[in-house]
Amino acid sequence: MAKYLQNQASFQISNLPDGLVFLFTAKPDSKFALQQLANLQEVKSQLENLNASVLFATDEEMACETLDYVLDDTRELVNLSPVVAGQKTLGTNFVVFKKTGENLEYQETKESPDNSNWPEAFVTVAENYKVKEPNDDNYYKWGQLVPETCEYLCIDCGFIIEFKEGQVFPICEVCFSGEPTGPQGPDGAYWEKV
């Protein structure tokens, strides 16, 4: 069972608000984790106001001074991502979930993310999550909910993929639209219904 690294208290998914959950996997003393933790502190209240949660997880017992870190030594939480489950050694990733009640539904994984300010990007994605309609050109953004099961086209690279209704639109896996350094950032709309 996952627990908070700082005080060993049991981690309960039910304590998170319904909405998007962003989970970083990284060693607490890594340069990446320290930078993202610092970035998180700057936008934590914005994320809380949007009912979005950001957590960090590791599968190794280590000293840690923040309640944002979860020890998941059995990897029951992080392995909800099929990508992470395939990693023999837990790498640096972020995983996006949609939480409803007691249900944590896997959405996407970004392996080896760059050193962008991801928590700041997550604020925009959480804002996108609350927007139901496409933009004026009928394009959707990272974080919006897929309105119907069908194929969608990334207008930036031409990649076509089927998404299921209710799924969260992801970063484009081909051209990385949606990422802070992609052709379009998290505030850009690039998914079009085919």
| pLDDT digit string, tens, across residues 60-90 | 988 888 889 999 999 999 999 999 999 999 9
The pairing of beta strand 3-4 with beta strand 189-193 = unpaired
Over residues 110-128, mean pLDDT: 97
For residue 65, what pLDDT is reported? Answer: 84
- Output the CA–CA distances (angstroms, integers) from residue 36 to 56, 63, 158, in the order listed: 9, 17, 31
Rg (CA), the chain: 16
Short-list 51, 68, 97, CA closest to 7: 68
Domains, the chain, with CATH or none? 1-129 (3.40.30.10), 131-194 (no CATH)
Joined together, the tokens standing for residue 161 give 């993929």
- Cα 70 to chain centroid distance, Å, stands at 16
The candidate with the shortest Cα–Cα distance to 135, out of 194, 191, 52, is: 191
Tell me the β-bridge partners of 153. Answer: 160, 192
What's the pTM value of the predicted model, to 2 decimals? 0.96
Q: What is the pLDDT of residues 21-67, one digit of tens each?
A: 999 999 999 999 999 999 999 999 999 999 999 999 999 988 888 88
Q: What is the pLDDT of residue 99?
A: 97
Average pLDDT over residues 141-155: 98
